[in-house]
Amino acid sequence: MSKEAAKIPDHRPNNGHKKIPLHDAIMSGLAVMHLKYPSLLRFDEDCKEKPDKLNNLKALYGVEQVPSDSHLRDMLDPIETRYFRKFFTSLFSYVQRSGRLKQFEYFEEGYLAPVDGTGHFASGSINCQECCVKKPDSKNPQYYHQLLGMCLVRPGKKEVLPLAPEPIIQQVDASKNDCEKTALKRLLENTSREHPHLKLVLNFDDLYSDGPTIRLVKSYNYSFIMVAKDSSHVSLYEAVDELDARDKVSRYEFTDEDGFKHWFRFVNGVSINKSHKDVLVNYLEYVSVSPKGKKYVNTWVTDIELTEESVAKVMRGGRAKWKIENETFNTLKTQGYNLEHNYGHGKEHLATNFANLTFTAFLIDQIEQLACPLFQKALAAKKSKTALWHAIRGLFDWFLIGSWSDLLKAIIEEKSICIKGLISDTS
C-alpha cells in the first residue's frame, strides 16, 4: 500500500516541496481507518501526546510525518478518487499471485460477485461538489453520497474480496442525480479494464433484473443471477405459468441432512418481459422450510442453465447476495469500521476518498484473515473481531511496535511486554 500511495501525484504547488509528503497523509488516513480510530482529531491528539506512536506509524504504515487533522483533510480532499483504485488492484493481484483466489471458485462460469449500493453520507447542510441532492429547490435540500460495491464471495466462505467501489456522486455535466444503474455502467467498465481475464457471475437484487441491465452485463461476457420479484416481473411470471400449464416447467425437491426441505420450480429460456422479448433468462423459483417451520421464498433469473443438478448451486449463489449487504456493508458500518462516520466532508473528493480508505482497510483485514496464519491465530485467541481490533489498538497506543508480526505475536502470546524495541523488520 505504501508503494502505491507514493505513486499518487502530489496536487500541491511545487509538488509539496519541503512539506509533509502526500504519501504520509494518505497512509495516515489509511492508518486511521485500519486502526478503527473514531475520529481524526483523536488520532492527531494521540500522535502529539504519545511520541511512540510516530515510531509505530513508521514501522507499520511507513509514515514519517503525521499532518494535523485539518491539514490531513486539506491534503486528501483534492486527490482524484480514481488514484485509490490502485490499492484494490494491487491487493487483488496479491491474492491472485498467492493462489488464494482459487478458494473463491464456485461456478464454472466465473467468480460469484454480488453487486449492491449503499449510502455512506447524508446531511441537510454539509455538502460538497460531489454530493447528490434530493429536493434541490426546496427549503430543505438533502445531500447524500452512496457507492456501488462489488465483492467476490463464495457460499460457505467467511471472507469477501471487495473490488474498488464505484462512487455514486454528482457527475460532471450531469443534468440529474447519479444512481446505482448509471454507476453500474462505470463499475463494469472499470472492472473489465482492470481485470480483463476475470470471469464473473454478477449477483443483483430486483432493481437490476431488466432487459437493459442484462444486455449490459452480457456485453462484458459476464454471467448473472438476479432476484426477480413478481410485482416487477408480471409478464415473466405469466409466461412461466403458461409454460407450466403445458407441462414445460420442471420441479425438483429434496430434504438435506439438517432437515431443511427445498423446493424448486424452474424453466430455461423465457423472455424477461414483453418489451425485451429477445432477452431470454432461466427462471428459478425456490422455497425452503427449516425443521422449525421457518420459510424462505425467493425467485431468480439467470443465464446459467437450470437442471436438477444445478438448481441448488444456483440457489446458494443467489442467496450469497446477503454477503455484500451483511458481511460487507453492515460490517463496514457497525463492526469497528466507520463507513458512515463523517471524518470530514471536504469541498472536492474528501468524503469519497475516506470511504475508499475505509474499504481498503476492510480489504486488508479480509486478506489477512484469508492468508496470514498469525492474524488467524490472533483472531482465534481474541475470539471476535471487535476484541482483536481493541487489542491491536491497545498495543499500538501503549507499546513500541517493531512490525505487524511482533504485534500479532504479542496478542497470540498475551505477552505484550515482549514488544521492547523498534526493530527494522517492517514486513
For residues 52 and 348, which CB has a smaller minimum distance to Zn ion in the complex? 348
Question: Mask of contacts with Zn ion, 81-120, x by CB under 5 A?
Answer: ----------------------------------------
Those residues whose C-beta lies under 8 Å from the C-beta of residue 423, and which sit 6 or more positions away, are 402, 403, 406
- Does the footprint of Zn ion cover residue 131 (CB under 5 A)? yes
Among 95, 128, 148, 391, binds Zn ion (CB under 5 A): 128
Residue in the block written with cell 460538497: 128
* 5 φ/ψ sector (left φ>0, alpha ψ -120 to 50, else beta): alpha
Least spacing, CB of residue 356 vs Zn ion, in Å? 14
- Residue number, 14 or 140, with CB nearest to Zn ion: 140
**From 2-10, 122-130, 148-156, 226-234, span contacting Zn ion (CB under 5 A):** 122-130
231: left (phi over 0), alpha (psi -120 to 50) or beta: alpha
Give the contacts of 219 (CB within 8 A, at least 6 positions apart): none
Verify binding: residue 168, Zn ion, rule CB under 5 A.
Answer: no
Cβ proximity to Zn ion, 4 vs 130, nearer residue:
130
- Shortest spacing between CB 243 and Zn ion, in angstroms: 49
Task: Map grid coordinates 457527475 to a residue.
Answer: 171
Give the whole-angstrom CA distance, residue 323 versus residue 113. 10
Least distance CB 202 / Zn ion (angstroms): 28
- 147 counts as binding Zn ion under rule CB under 5 A: no
Short-list 269, 176, 272, CA closest to 229: 272
Q: Which of residues 331-370 bind Zn ion (CB under 5 A)?
A: 351
Q: Which of 176, 126, 119, 189 is nearest to 329 (CA)?
A: 119
Residue 107 neighbours by CB distance under 10 Å: 19
What is the nearest approach in angstroms of Zn ion to the Cβ of residue 332?
A: 18
Q: Which amino acid is at 58?
A: K
CB of 355 to Zn ion, least distance (A): 11
Instruction: Give min distance, CB of 129 to Zn ion, in A.
Output: 7
The three-class DSSP label of residue 81 is: helix
178/327 with CB nearer Zn ion: 178
CB of 28 to Zn ion, least distance (A): 22
Parallel, antiparallel, or unpaired for β 280-289 and 142-152?
A: unpaired
Closest CB to Zn ion among residues 21, 346: 346
Residue closer to Zn ion by CB (options 131, 395) is 131
Alpha-carbon 100 to chain mean position = 18
Interface with Zn ion (CB under 5 A): 128, 130-131, 351
